[in-house]
Amino acid sequence: MCDIRRKSLISQFRQETELLIDIPKPGFRNTNDGNTARRFFQGPEISARITGIDQMLIYRFSVLLKASSSGYDVDPQLYDLYAFDTAKIYVNLHEWYLMSPTLHKILLPGKHVINNFQLSISQLSEDVQESRHKELRFFREHNTRKISRQSTNSNLMRVLLTSSDPYIFGIRLLPPKKSYVLNKDVISFLKCPNVDVNSENGITSE
């Protein structure tokens, strides 16, 4: 029964949104990655209709994830209130399914993470590690000698140290990034000076 339901969900998402969910991917485990998650939360109406999950619950998760990855400082008190209300909605609607550890980390200890780290919560995500890993592979291919493992690693460490120097990082041109507009619910608990929460255009985030 579970396998039939799973195949039905995969088929519906593929037909209606062209999303490839839970499909084996060469070199990776499957297609369930950050890009798939973003598209899932961008259309809460369709996702709710296909999965049967409450639309408001999907939307609230979307708000929390966008706020935590926006690049702006988040107000810990407002984040905690919104996340705790979301947790209560989840428990009321899906008491039969225990909350996963990942979901628990987003909803309950988020306030303490924001309070106890100097960096914003968005800078603590795995995006930074992933982007640095891409640079590492590029540097290894184009900026190292391949005559021996020692030469390769030595050149690689020098390039990484040079590229991470604060002065050099500050003067280099950054590659363009795709930005998106944050809605009013996301803006409402960000520490953004001189931002009109009632503005229809909102603010952009990279």
Q: Return the percentage of the chain with pLDDT > 90, whole number.
A: 25
- For residues 170 and 160, give the distance between their C-alpha atoms in angstroms, rounded to a whole number: 15
Residue 196 gets the label, from left (phi > 0), alpha (psi -120 to 50) or beta, of beta
Query: What pLDDT is attached to residue 63?
Result: 92
Q: Looking at residues 127-142, what average pLDDT do you find?
A: 82
Query: What pLDDT is attached to residue 20?
Result: 86
- For residues 38 and 45, give the distance between their C-alpha atoms in angstroms, rounded to a whole number: 14
Q: Has residue 92 got a pLDDT over 90? A: yes
- For residues 109 and 90, give the distance between their C-alpha atoms in angstroms, rounded to a whole number: 16
Q: Looking at residues 121-140, what average pLDDT do you find?
A: 76
Query: What pLDDT is attached to residue 46?
Result: 92
φ, ψ for residue 161 (rounded to 5)? -65, -40
Query: What pLDDT is attached to residue 194?
Result: 52
Q: Which of 69, 90, 93 is nearest to 79 (CA)?
A: 69
Query: What pLDDT is attached to residue 200?
Result: 47
Q: Looking at residues 22-45, what average pLDDT do you find?
A: 83
**What is the band of 147 on the pLDDT scale with cuts at 50, 70, 90?**
very high
Q: Looking at residues 149-158, what average pLDDT do you find?
A: 93
| Of the ranges 26-35, 118-127, 190-199, the best mean pLDDT one | 26-35
Output the average pLDDT for the chain.
82
Query: What pLDDT is attached to residue 81?
Result: 92
